[in-house]
Structure 1
Amino acid sequence: MKTNPHDWLNEHGDYLYRFALARLRDQHQAEDVVQETLLAAIKNPNFSEQSSARTWLTGILKHKIIDCMRKQVRETPASQLMIDEDANMDEFFDETGHWAEKPQAWDVPQDALQQKQFLKILQQCMDRLPQKLAAIFAMRDVDEMENDEICKVLEITTTNAWVMLYRARMGLRKCLEMHW
């Protein structure tokens, strides 16, 4: 059964928007990349139906999101990459550089309601992070991209990527321990 490109927005628009919004955390940017995705798909109809239209469109969308993230990284001053001017990550470690108090083990919530509540808190904590840190955390720990690939996408050094990922994880840890 052939899919009609004119039906893609109605059939897949909400899914694509939610996918983009979860990664970009900005409504306008999410709307823009979904529009760019649909335009690219219509202008270059290489869809061979070897996969579903949603899978194909999501693949295009991922590239549009990466382009958007690259643009953000290039245009954001390094000073905005800090979680908080007053944030002191040293409080997590002792004089020898080891954990002062080991992170709590987070059990995987079995109950659907508990899991939904946890994901809501996690999203709120991610929303509190600077956009770049949330993006690199999502790419590495949610989308499971390799560090080399993230560095190419964001056009940053490996060291910078690890520092940003460390700051994102520490910020999330602190937020989750306070709110979860």
Structure 2
Amino acid sequence: MILKMKTNFSSIEFLESIKNGEDSARDAIVRAYTEHLYKAALGQGLSNEQAHDVAHSTWMTFFDVVHRFEGRSHIRTFLFGIFYNKVSELRRSNLKYSQSDPIDEIMESKFQDNGHWKEGLPGDPERFLDSSQGLDIISLCLDELPELQKAVFQLKVVEEDESEEICNILDITTTNLRQLLYRAKSRLRECVERKSNA
């Protein structure tokens, strides 16, 4: 615990230590982020066993490729980029995705010709967000997002990472990033409206 508190994961010394495979550096970063990886995997809707597997697989890949980390972002961002790719790989291997995306039709029905929404969120948005029911609905709706949209939303909106950083992590273009973020926000709004009125 003391090691975890004293370690500066952004320092040049730590980055050199981790790239050189020093046990103390490996131990410090594993102790600091394993629980975060596990909880993030559960947040992605994975089972306990899958969450442990993804966390383990993330660490294996991280230590295989950390020598390529250039230090332009926080090492946590680099680690979670690997994590999101692992979750995507798992889902691709387990699920068959539909070629069509029903959100396109839904979104067309929700917009006016000038691009504005036809209807707003139910009631007062601030009161909705402050209510426990509102937070539960948002959490459920986040879980329903496709994994890449959820990853983009998490990195851009929640963690407030830079667009260029996100594109590097997820191996997407800036155009794809904008489209994915737009779709994620649109799906969230549609889902919140649907569940709030249910």
Show the 5 A alignment for 1:41-56: none
SS in 2 for 1:107: helix
Structure number with higher relative contact order (C-alpha < 8 Å, ≥ 6 residues apart) = 1
**Kept in 1: contact 2:129–2:135 (CA 8 A):** no
**Kept in 2: contact 1:16–1:34 (CA 8 A):** yes
Question: How far apart are the structure 1 equivalents of 2:58 and 2:145?
Answer: 27
Q: Pairwise CA RMSD of aligned residues?
A: 4.1
- Structure 2 residue identity aligned to 1:139: L
What is aligned with 1:125?
141
When the two structures are superposed, what TM-score results if normalisation uses the length of structure 1?
Answer: 0.63
For residue 38 of structure 2, the aligned residue among 17, 22, 29 is 17
What is aligned with 1:161?
177
Question: How far apart are the structure 1 equivalents of 2:195 and 2:126?
Answer: 15
Instruction: Report how many residues are paired.
Output: 161
Residue 122 and residue 150 in structure 1: after superposition, are their counterparts in 2 closer, same or farther (change >3 A)?
A: same
Residue 12 and residue 144 in structure 1: after superposition, are their counterparts in 2 closer, same or farther (change >3 A)?
A: closer
Q: Between the two proteins, what is the percent identity of the paired residues? A: 31
Structure 2 unmatched runs, 5+:
5-23, 65-73
Deviation at 1:21, TM superposition (A): 2.7
Moved more, 150-159 or 34-43: 34-43
When the two structures are superposed, what TM-score results if normalisation uses the length of structure 2?
Answer: 0.58
Deviation at 1:172, TM superposition (A): 0.5
What is aligned with 1:99?
117
**Kept in 2: contact 1:13–1:34 (CA 8 A):** yes
- Structure 1 residue identity aligned to 2:125: W
Deviation at 1:173, TM superposition (A): 0.4
Deviation at 1:18, TM superposition (A): 0.9
Question: How far apart are the structure 1 equivalents of 2:167 and 2:3?
Answer: 38
Residue 162 and residue 40 in structure 1: after superposition, are their counterparts in 2 closer, same or farther (change >3 A)?
A: closer
Question: How far apart are the structure 1 equivalents of 2:171 and 2:99?
Answer: 17
Deviation at 1:110, TM superposition (A): 8.4
- Structure 2 residue identity aligned to 1:31: H
